Structure 1
Amino acid sequence: MNKNNKAATEAVHVSSSHRAHAQLREQLLRSRFLPGQKINEVALAKELEISRTPLREALNRLVAEGLLMDRERGFSVPGLEPEVIFDLFEARVEIECATVRLACERAEEAELEALSDFLDESMAEPPDASVDRLIELDIRFHDTIAELARNKVLRQLLTNINGRIHLIRWIAMEGQRDRTQNQHREILDHICAGDTEAAIAVMRDHILHRNEDILAAIKAAYGHVYTRSSS
């Protein structure tokens, strides 16, 4: 095999792995797989029309992101163990409070105005907007705060944690649209005013952090995925 052919083959391999990673990540976030479910690599390779090697690379990337677990004889979906979920939400609270503090110090006026315009658009979403759409808007708000913090590591950590608690956030969002959007506005108002402590206080209250509430969301999440899988 000449160098050009080899390079072309490697490029196709990498592209296939990236595509499989993106597709599987989306499926995991959408709870296509049940908590604790073992991944059938043969069936998955056939479904994604991909060879086992780039598929394995994609699965290993998802393991590194905490969205899959590497067992001795294959891969499986993480369960919703309360102690793990508690730790993830605790980490999220601390990261989000840190990004708020840094955004208060580093965000420019034009950037805050753009975020305010985004919140106006979010609140104008129709009353029947899906939970998926509300989660999308919620994630964008928090990610923008992290971007304004100008700390790539904190932003990457937040993205990773949000992926791992996506289902719990989805459950917790139901019926919480007005509260969520009002608190987004309150957080931004405090940032614009340079009131760091107030912004952090609202952010801490905004994020699901009480163990009893998280436990209730975990139970509801199990009910959601198993009900949907049997329908």
Structure 2
Amino acid sequence: MSQSRQSNTDAYSLILEAIDVGIYKPGDRLVESELAERFGVSRTPIREALQRLETQSLLERDGRSLIVASLDHNQMAELYVVRRELEGLAARLAARHATEEEIRVLREMVEADDKLVGDPNALSRANRRFHEQIHLASHNRYLVQQLDLVHRTMALMATTSLAAQGRGEIAQNEHKGIVDAIEARDEERAEKALKDHISIAFMTRLKQDADKRERN
């Protein structure tokens, strides 16, 4: 990979990670010069990274400025519909194709993540790693690519459903059920378990949004 292409990739990854961890939140304005200074990258790769993120609908125009996009209710619902179907397929394929080592890693992840219940932000990051491990265990590169885009878009939600009271512990139990089904090579049960997991997360988020509207 040429140095120029590497710089473009690095700039894109750096901005994407900053959005993902909440340094830049929905509605925040992104300025080329400020980003270049923050990340120590020249403005050209920053500009190209911003264009790429805009094409992926992770950024949107506000006059002449680019801001981090936000999702309205319909967009969020559409995203969860797609996520539920793709995640379910990943679990089904993982039950079919995952190696014993991959299953062991999933099991160890769940056990380690139990210690993070009570810390929604840390648990959210761990949750993403867990789901990404299932995606990889599907052994389908095209599915992994699509799910990667879905999970990037999830970063546009300002809060995590794992912040809801009691959700962290419940989600961990759901993760255990998913791994049990994958380990048993039960494709139908694995798919259903993960789809149900996503549906419950979506319902939790809807309740969070309803509570927020009521407070405002």
> Structures share a fold, TM > 0.5?
yes
Q: Give the 3 Å change call, closer, same or farther, for CA 211–57 of structure 1 in structure 2.
A: same
Mean Cα deviation higher: 83-92 or 166-175: 166-175
Deviation per CA, 1:21-79, whole angstroms, max 9, x where unpaired? 22211221233334234433333334444433221111122224432135673422212
- State yes or no: 1:141 paired with 2:130: yes
- Across the two proteins, how many residue pairs are aligned to each other? 212
TM-score under structure 2 length normalisation: 0.82
1:131–1:170 contact (8 Å) kept in structure 2: no
Quick one: which amino acid aligns to residue 54 of structure 1?
P
- State yes or no: 1:83 paired with 2:89: no
Deviation at 1:88, TM superposition (A): 1.0
Deviation at 1:90, TM superposition (A): 0.9
Q: Give the 3 Å change call, closer, same or farther, for CA 169–92 of structure 1 in structure 2.
A: farther
The aligned residue for residue 160 of structure 1 is 149
Q: Give the 3 Å change call, closer, same or farther, for CA 192–168 of structure 1 in structure 2.
A: same
Deviation at 1:115, TM superposition (A): 2.0
Mean Cα deviation higher: 176-185 or 67-76: 67-76
1:61 pairs, out of 48, 52, 57, with: 52
Q: For 1:207, what is the secondary structure of its paired residue?
A: helix
2:161–2:201 contact (8 Å) kept in structure 1: no
Q: For 1:80, what is the secondary structure of its paired residue?
A: coil
TM-score under structure 1 length normalisation: 0.77
Q: For 2:160, what is the secondary structure of its paired residue?
A: helix
Q: Distance in 2 between matches of 1:148 and 1:73?
A: 42
Deviation at 1:207, TM superposition (A): 1.1
Q: Distance in 2 between matches of 1:76 and 1:219?
A: 25
The aligned residue for residue 180 of structure 2 is 189
Q: What RMSD in Å do the two structures reach over aligned CA positions?
A: 3.0
The aligned residue for residue 151 of structure 1 is 140
Q: Give the 3 Å change call, closer, same or farther, for CA 49–211 of structure 1 in structure 2.
A: closer
Mean Cα deviation higher: 96-105 or 67-76: 67-76
Instruction: Point out where structure 2 has 5 or more consecutive residues left out of the alignment.
Output: none
Mean Cα deviation higher: 146-155 or 209-218: 209-218
2:116–2:122 contact (8 Å) kept in structure 1: no
Higher Cα Rg: structure 1 or 2? Answer: 1
1:208–1:214 contact (8 Å) kept in structure 2: no
Q: Give the 3 Å change call, closer, same or farther, for CA 151–173 of structure 1 in structure 2.
A: same
Q: For 2:13, what is the secondary structure of its paired residue?
A: helix
Deviation per CA, 1:164-210, whole angstroms, max 9, x where unpaired? 11354842011422111111111111122222222222211211468
The aligned residue for residue 19 of structure 1 is 10
Q: For 1:118, what is the secondary structure of its paired residue?
A: helix
Q: Distance in 2 between matches of 1:215 and 1:92?
A: 16
Deviation per CA, 1:56-107, whole angstroms, max 9, x where unpaired? 1111222244321356734222122111111111111000001111111112
Q: Distance in 2 between matches of 1:191 and 1:161?
A: 22
Deviation per CA, 1:144-182, whole angstroms, max 9, x where unpaired? 111111111111211221121135484201142211111
Q: For 2:30, what is the secondary structure of its paired residue?
A: coil
Q: Distance in 1 between matches of 2:113 and 2:176?
A: 11
1:39 pairs, out of 30, 40, 57, with: 30
Instruction: Point out where structure 1 has 5 or more consecutive residues left out of the alignment.
Output: 1-6, 223-231
Q: For 1:84, what is the secondary structure of its paired residue?
A: helix
